[in-house]
């Protein structure tokens, strides 16, 4: 038998998603159950996997060996000092799968390459300024190509796909010279150019998904998610699903984001404010304080409105701003509604693009209820 220790991992195998009870299909579904569990609970033992999934020890052993052979799983160091044999944690292999995430924003497009743990391996930003439709499309294609070039040929075969985060309700991009989402036809063109499946989702829902798969809400199934970008957006997550139900608790957007802050700064001294200029916003003074107070007021009001219909116990605030500012907002909100746990988002780098990158993993490697 040849020595396989240094052989490259197998090309990513995608389990059968169709219904049925033949042994191969059941095993494929069970593999997805195990991968989904490990995405939320990194480093648990086979015994714990069996207890949480209700699968037999033999079934868990077969599944773990299979996924390990395919390069999706690895083992951690044995944990000693307990009664009985050492416990060996089962881990996701970061290099087991990759994906590309694209966030098509109003002013720029973010492109990232993430691994199976959500770590950003490549990041690029394409500014929309002075770009025609064809030039913008070409620039996005080039950025995706550059992301894939980071990978070795063997790792390239383990790319699960491309995720595309689109502005809310597919709205046209705000800059008048930039083509609409529909005009760009990105989904079909990316699939044709890179021979990879492209999955599309709303951008704010993607940001919420990034926290659910890789960040602060991996183990929080019910919560209220806020994203502070150019606007302030909310999403209600119930049982690990973004809720899109009746109007009373449907997704909402508020003019209390960074555009509002920019206007306040301009009114004070006529200067322009670039939110991406760096980590120090202290010189904004009263403008920042007033905006923060208004932003927290909207967060509080939105939470109380939703609390009439849903028992809200956890809030996640993801924000495209320095940690010091987002932490201050979370602190103010926590004091305003002490009965609810307020936490800042854990995905700091391009959360909407990272969330888009999670879409191929969700569709091809996990259980979708």
69 & 109 share domain: no
In a 10 Å sphere around its CB, with 0-12 CB exposed, 13-18 middle and 19+ buried, how is residue 212 labelled?
buried
Q: What is the CATH number of the domain that holds 78?
A: 1.10.10.10
| 177 and 262 housed in the same domain | no
Q: Which helix (H) or strand (E) element contains residue 165?
A: strand 159-166
- 215 vs 225: CA distance, rounded Å: 12
Whether residue 194 sits in one domain with residue 228: no
In this predicted model, which residue has the larger pLDDT, 237 or 133? 237
Given pLDDT bands bounded at 50, 70 and 90, which one contains residue 83?
low
pLDDT tens digits, one per residue of 197-244: 999 999 999 999 999 999 999 989 999 999 999 899 999 999 988 886
**pTM here?**
0.88
Residue 85: beta bridge partners?
A: none
Mean pLDDT value of segment 25-45: 86
- Looking at the domain assignment, is residue 2 inside a domain? no
**Residue 234 shares a structural domain with residue 280:** yes
Same structural domain, 82 and 114: no
342 versus 263: the higher-pLDDT residue is: 342
pLDDT value at residue 132: 85
| Residue 102 to residues 18, 204, 216, 312, 352, Cα–Cα distance (Å) | 28, 13, 21, 31, 8
DSSP per position, 246-315: SGGGS-EEES-SHHHHHHHHHHHHS----TTS-S--GGGTHHHHHHHHHHHHHHHHHHHHHTTTS---EE
Residue 10 lies in a domain: no
Question: What would the two tokens of residue 328 be?
Answer: 């201050």
Let me know if residue 17 belongs to a domain.
no
Q: What is the CATH number of the domain that holds 236?
A: 3.30.420.40
- What is the band of 6 on the pLDDT scale with cuts at 50, 70, 90? very low
The pLDDT tens digits of the residues spanning 70-82 come to 999 998 776 665 6
Decide if 3 is inside a domain.
no
Domain finish residue from 92, 116, 136: 92
- So what's the pLDDT on residue 277? 66
Q: What would the mean pLDDT of 43-72 be, rounded to a whole number?
A: 94
Give domain status of residue 16, yes or no: no
* Chosen domain end from 36, 60, 92: 92
**70 and 148 share one domain:** no
Distance CA 338, CA 336 (A): 6
DSSP 130-162: T--HHHHHHHHHHHHHHHHHTS-HHHHTTEEEE
Q: Tally the domains of the chain.
A: 3
Higher-confidence residue of 16 and 44: namely: 44
Domain boundary at 71, 92, 113, which? Answer: 92
Q: Tell me: do 154 and 123 sit in the same domain.
A: yes
Instruction: Please indicate, yes or no, whether residues 224 and 250 belong to a single structural domain of this protein.
Output: yes
The CA distances from residue 229 to 63, 80, 128, 255, 288, in Å, are 42, 46, 17, 10, 15
Instruction: Please tell me whether residues 82 and 102 are part of one structural domain.
Output: no
pLDDT over 80 (residue 177): no
Q: Are residues 326 and 226 in the same domain?
A: yes
In a domain, 210, yes or no: no
Q: What is the mean pLDDT of residues 332-361?
A: 96
- At 266 the pLDDT is 84
Say if 13 falls within a structural domain: no
Cα→Cα distances 80→41, 74, 223, Å: 20, 18, 36
The reply to whether 75 and 127 lie within a common domain is no
Q: Are 171 and 217 in contact (CB under 8 A)?
A: no
For the chain, what is the radius of gyration of the CA atoms? 22
Domain extent for 282:
216-346
| pLDDT at position 94 | 96
Is it the case that residue 253 has pLDDT exceeding 90? Answer: no
* pLDDT at 172 (0 to 100): 42
- Mean pLDDT score across all residues of the chain: 85
Q: What is the mean pLDDT of residues 108-133?
A: 94
Backbone φ and ψ for 174, nearest 5 degrees, come out as: -70, -35
Residues pairing with 226 in the sheet: 234, 317
8 Å CB contact between 223 and 217:
yes
Do 228 and 335 share a domain, yes or no? yes
pLDDT digits (tens, 9 = 90+) for 276-298: 766 678 778 888 999 999 999 99
């Amino acid at each position: 038998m040849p020595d396989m220790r240094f052989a490259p991992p197998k090309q990513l195998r995608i389990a059968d998603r169709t219904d049925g009870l033949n042994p191969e299909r059941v095993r494929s579904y069970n593999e997805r159950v195990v991968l989904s569990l490990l995405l939320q609970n990194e480093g648990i033992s086979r015994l714990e996997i069996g207890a949480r999934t209700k699968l037999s020890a033999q079934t868990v052993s077969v599944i773990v060996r299979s996924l390990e052979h395919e390069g999706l799983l690895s083992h951690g160091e044995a944990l000693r000092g307990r009664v009985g044999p050492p416990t060996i944690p089962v881990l996701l292999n970061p290099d087991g799968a990759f994906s590309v995430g694209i966030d098509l924003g109003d002013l720029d497009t973010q492109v990232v390459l993430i691994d199976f743990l959500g770590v950003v391996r490549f990041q690029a930003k394409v500014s929309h300024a002075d770009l025609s439709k064809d030039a913008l499309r070409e620039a996005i294609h080039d950025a995706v190509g550059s992301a894939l070039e980071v990978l070795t040929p063997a790792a390239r075969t383990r790319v699960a796909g491309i995720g595309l985060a689109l502005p809310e309700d597919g709205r046209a991009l705000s800059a008048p010279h930039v083509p609409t989402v529909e005009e760009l036809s990105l989904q079909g063109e990316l699939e044709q150019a890179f021979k990879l499946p492209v999955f599309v989702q709303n951008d704010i829902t993607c940001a919420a998904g990034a926290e659910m798969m890789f960040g602060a809400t991996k183990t929080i199934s019910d919560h209220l998610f806020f994203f502070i970008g150019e606007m302030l957006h909310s999403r209600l997550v119930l049982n690990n699903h973004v809720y899109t139900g009746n109007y009373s608790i449907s997704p909402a957007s508020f003019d209390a984001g960074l555009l509002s802050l920019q206007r306040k700064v301009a009114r004070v001294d006529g200067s322009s404010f670039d939110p991406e200029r760096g980590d120090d916003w202290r010189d904004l003074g009263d403008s920042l304080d007033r905006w923060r107070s208004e932003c927290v007021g909207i967060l509080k009001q939105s939470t109380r409105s939703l609390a009439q219909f849903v028992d809200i116990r956890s809030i996640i605030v993801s924000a495209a701003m320095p940690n010091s500012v987002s932490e201050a907002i979370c602190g103010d909100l926590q004091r305003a509604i002490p009965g609810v746990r307020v936490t800042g988002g854990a995905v700091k780098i391009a959360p909407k693009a990272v969330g888009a990158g999670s879409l191929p993993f969700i569709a091809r490697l996990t259980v979708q209820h």
